[in-house]
Chains A and B, each alone.
Chain A
Amino acid sequence: MSVTSSGRLPLVVSLDDPEPMYRQIEHQVRRLILGGQLSPGTALPSVRALASDLACSVITTRRAYQELESGGFIRTRQGMGTVVAELSEGARDAFRREPVEQAIREAVREGIDAGMTGAELREVFEKAIVGERGHEEVSGD
């Protein structure tokens, strides 16, 4: 399913989240772009429209857009508004893998701290994949 500019972006900012609001927006929009819900060329709401939807200020939404733009996720052209940028397959892949790799690195570090061997870690990893398959198909094998 894709998201169009005519609707609201499915974003939720929360004051319970210790992350500043602009970071929350930045991360969620990035996830929508990487997940393909926002495809290249899709027009994004203006900073004011987004601020109004999220009940935050344009200072916050502008900052989120600036971060996304410097990350290459969106483009803003004078008078044309803001659109989702074309991401190279390599970039998309790297962004998709990055948080997963980081989570696995952290898990491995925990395992090492707990005194596990490489064989044991591999076994836990394999078991986790099999376990997750019960809820959701892991593709590619």
Chain B
Amino acid sequence: MTDVMLGLKGVTKTYPGFRLGPVDLDIERGYIVAVVGPNGSGKSTLFRLLMGLTHPDAGQIRRFGAATGDDIAIASRIGYVPERAIGHDQMSALDLGTFYAHWYPAFDRERYDAAIDAMGIEWGKAFGKLSKGMQRRVSYTLAMATDPELLLLDELTDGVDPFARREMTTDIAGFMETGERTVVFATHNMDEVRRLADYVVLLVNGRFLGMYEKDALVHGWRRAWLERQPDSETPGVVSVSAGEPVEVVSSLWGETARSLAAQGIVIERTAPVDLTEILERVMNGAEGADGERPWPVAGETRSVRMP
């Protein structure tokens, strides 16, 4: 039996001048999914849809296996850190603690209080007067203290210093320890994707460019230097640069290497391709007609599944 935490089927959302989707993906319990893409790709819209703060124009979203709408019971199982915490600005850390304790039955006040003290935040100071990084940390602390099953983190670490950032990464890994919880996070920081994610969802200008198993994606790509030009039909090759030696980039290195061996081409050296470059190439490759890539990519999946 599969345990789908978030199931999206043909989901679209249109605003004047912007359209997200259609998005089709299943995210199962126990996984960390990173959502990446340039600014204005629709990441925050996707999070608002997942949180039930806005509804799709078409398609269906199932949360915790149910298709019902903005049920308060569902919302209380989700820890959401929005890009901008609306309505928090005038409230102090003390007010926020009281507010959450009232609305979330599982809110752990002691844990929240201890975390706020550890950060050295003045209890009476308005949220809006805190630095951006501190605001992010308070929002995160609030979300975590509700003991959620699902964490939705929209640009969590934006403006957060590298030490607190690292602490959060470790904390999220600890949160995921039992395998019973699920995290979806949007970020511009590739190091976080590398350190945390099991799967990567790519969004560009509202277009869903697929979900990829991170390790298969990274391991599938390779840059290689060859003694001579390979056959134009060589599988997996996405680019060839003329020169001595010939530099090629492959999106399916296993198949490329086999084909090169059959062609009798000596591989002089290979190197991994950086995750940022991989995602950039996948984005650019999809810029052609109908968003169809001319080449396949390792690790692509529409559904997060147990092996």
Contact = CB atoms under 8 A, between A and B. Distances in A.
Contacts of B218: 15
A48 interface: yes
Interface string A95-121: 000000000000000000000000000
A52 B215 contact: no
B54 interface: no
B173 interface: yes
Contacts of B199: 57
A62 interface: yes
B179 interface: yes
Given A16-B271, A48-B173, A49-B173, A60 B195 contact: no
A63 B219 contact: no
**SS of A interface (majority):** helix
Interface in B173-217: 173, 176-177, 179, 194-199, 213-216
A57 B177 CA distance: 13
A46 B177 contact: yes
Given A16-B271, A20-B219, A59 B213 contact: yes
B197 to A, nearest CB: 7
Interface in B1-43: 30-32
A63 B215 CA distance: 12
B162 interface: no
A57 B215 contact: yes
A77 to B, nearest CB: 15
Nearest to B194: A55
Interface residues on A, range: 20 to 34
A58 interface: yes
B194 A21 contact: no
A11 B118 CA distance: 33
Contacts of B284: none
B215 A48 contact: no
B177 A58 contact: no
B195 A52 contact: yes
A79 to B, nearest CB: 10
B223 to A, nearest CB: 11
Given A47-B179, A62-B307, A63-B307, A15 B219 contact: yes
A57 B179 contact: no
A91 interface: no
Given A16-B271, A48-B177, A49-B173, A57 B213 contact: yes
Contact of B31 (A18, A21, A58, A63): A58
21 contacts: A15-B219, A15-B272, A18-B270, A46-B179, A48-B176, A48-B177, A49-B173, A49-B177, A52-B173, A52-B196, A55-B195, A57-B197, A57-B199, A57-B213, A57-B214, A58-B30, A58-B31, A59-B215, A62-B307, A63-B307, A66-B307
Interface of B: 30-32, 169-170, 173, 176-177, 179, 194-199, 213-216, 218-219, 270-272, 307
Given A21-B215, A57-B214, A66-B307, 16 more contacts: A15-B272, A16-B271, A16-B272, A18-B270, A47-B179, A48-B173, A48-B176, A48-B179, A49-B173, A49-B177, A52-B170, A55-B194, A58-B32, A59-B215, A60-B215, A63-B307
Interface of A: 15-16, 18, 20-21, 46-49, 51-52, 55-60, 62-63, 66
